[in-house]
Amino acid sequence: MLKILKLLKPKEWRQVFAVFILAVTQVWIDLKFPDYLATITRLVQTPGSRIGDIWMAGVYMLICALSSLACVIVISFLASRTSAALAARLRSMIFTKVGSFSMEETGRFSTASLITRSTNDVTQVQTFFMAGLQMLLKVPILAIGGILKIAGKGYEWTLATASALGFMLLVVACAMWVVLPIFSRMQSLVDNLNLAVRESLTGRFVIRAYNAEGFQTGKFSRANEGFTQADQRTNRAMAAMGPAMSIASNGLVLAIYIIGASMIIKAGPPSALLPFSNMVVMSSYAAQVMTAVKFITKVLPRWPRASVSAKRINEVLDTDPALSDGLLSEGISGVRGEVLFQNVSFRYPGAAANVLEDISFTARQGETVAFVGSTGSGKTTLINLVLRFYEATQGQVMVDGVDVRNYNRKSLYNKIGYVPQKAALFKGTVASNVAFGDNGRGRYSAVDVEKAVKTAQGKDFVEELEGGYQAAVSQGGATFSGGQKQRLSIARAICRKPEILIFDDAFSALDYKTDRELRNALRNEAAGATRLIVAQRIGAIMDADRIIVLDEGRIAGQGTHKELLQTCRVYREIAMSQLSEEELVS
Ligand code: ADP
């Protein structure tokens, strides 16, 4: 929590200081209030008092009450302002940090947990901070001030107040002992709940089509029940505190009156006036002390949950991305669009064996290099190493003669146009999805967008949309077919005019005709760019300059289609399973 407080800016520290000053002022005013009450009691009881004096004391009491109210309003305003600013800063810091995470860190935290951390956890910290500013600064001063005032008026009252306070603290300690462990688990239970909701929402159609609602509902119910039980247990413990607090504070008032009554009887008239007015004042102080403690019991129980949340937020903020940024922004001069793998092996973090083993090849400027192999042979993993989503365990991955680790990420990605397996579209328009991000060479023009869409064979369907290039795209592109999404995703990569185009099984949703037309258009329009293509269909990569055949993470052969048919058994088997006799010999 302290670490999070360090994020406050000087202006916000000034606001915290102002809250402190106001809190002290309010306590001073609140403790003045019973003094005027005592004056009124004394004046009323004293024969010959002037009504004007009683009115005057009444006016002072009203001023005290109004000033105290004004302090409360300003304190609340400043507290909510400061805590909202802190929460906004935390959210944006988490957002930026998560943006810098590689696949490894994202996988380690899990998406559901990262969402909880940037929303619910921040809210927990914000709520505690706000309540803390409003109460925690003021309450101890009020409690100590009240006790000191009471202590000066006789040991019986002091003893009664100390006993009531002791009882209250004991109740709070017991409740904390029950809720602390539960609160520490609470946020991971929210994670589970988020995970269950996310999974059910993203997979809702599959769930429906497989009549798996019961199974998924079971998963959700377990997560929901786990959270509800924890919530109920903490609420029960907190609820039990309420009556105990009332017993203590009402008991104290009763004790003050009993002690006062015995003092009045002992003193007898006319000297009974002093103990009587003292009694009235004491009960007022006691009420203030008890209210103060009650407030503490409202804020303190939030502490464990807020502190767990703060820890979870810090975990994200303190995570240094495993893949550090390099310094270089350019490759070796004169080398453009070259991708070189030098004895590269790769193992996923925590995995038992290498997924890629001793991979070496070169893709030169303008060449088309294709990767084929059975599912799970490591094609996507290999592509991810060029994109530096992961780092090679052994060997070097070079782009334009420089190890990808030495590039600063922006410069590396300025060289690359990447089309993933699963097309990702973003909320906006067709144009904003194609002219997405920047390539370090200024904004994309409308002509760039139209040209890219045309090359990606998307012109016809885009121009038929209502609004054309300005047609709305919903989150994830829900209103587009798989093939349309893929073509927009390809257009986005072409629009970057990159040195290297990477297609990770990006033509799989296209029909054969569109696939062929797109490859022809690419050959003409993106001739200068090196193309790395992962494909399942041999027909789609037959004309590549080089085909690399992967088998269980190793290169089983590399060469042209014709060469591989002669030399590589794995390739021949794949080709024979897809092409007719005539296609094979042609
Ligand atoms: P392909 O693209 O050829 O189908 P992949 O590169 O996706 O193959 O996967 C190669 C192997 O790596 C598979 O055995 C897969 O189970 C494993 N793998 C893929 N992603 C991960 C990951 N994030 N963590 C651990 N293993 C993974």
Strand bridging mode 500-504 / 530-534: parallel
Q: Which mutation among 110, 381, 389, 504 tests ligand 1's pocket best, with the greatest number of atoms within 8 A of CB?
A: 381
SS3 letters across 109-133: HCHHHHHHHHCHHHHHHHHHHHHHH
Report yes or no: 293 and 165 within 8 Å, Cβ to Cβ. Answer: yes
Shortest-distance atom of ligand 1 to CA 351: 25
CA distances from 490 to 252, 419, 422, 424 (A): 76, 6, 11, 11
Shortest-distance atom of ligand 1 to CA 384: 6
Is the pLDDT at 82 greater than 80? The verdict is yes
Is the pLDDT at 50 greater than 90? The verdict is no
pLDDT at residue 46 in the model: 79
Among residues 311, 303, 312, the alpha carbon closest in space to that of 117 is found at 312
Question: Do you know the residue count of the chain?
Answer: 586
pLDDT at residue 248 in the model: 87
CA-nearest residue, atom 22 of ligand 1: 348
Beta bridge partners of 504: 534
Confidence at 584, pLDDT banded by 50, 70, 90: low
Shortest-distance atom of ligand 1 to CA 374: 3
Among residues 375, 395, 354, 340, the alpha carbon closest in space to that of 554 is found at 354
Cα dihedral across residues 91, 93, 94, 95: positive or negative: positive
pLDDT at residue 586 in the model: 63
Whether the ω angle into residue 349 lies within 30 degrees of 0, i.e. cis, is no
Instruction: Give tens-digit pLDDT for 15-49.
Output: 999 999 999 899 889 888 888 888 888 888 778 88
- CA 165 / ligand 1 centre spacing (Å): 62
Instruction: Give tens-digit pLDDT for 302-336.
Output: 788 898 899 999 999 999 887 778 888 887 878 88
The two three-digit tokens of residue 207, written as one number: 């769930």
Tell me the pTM: 0.76
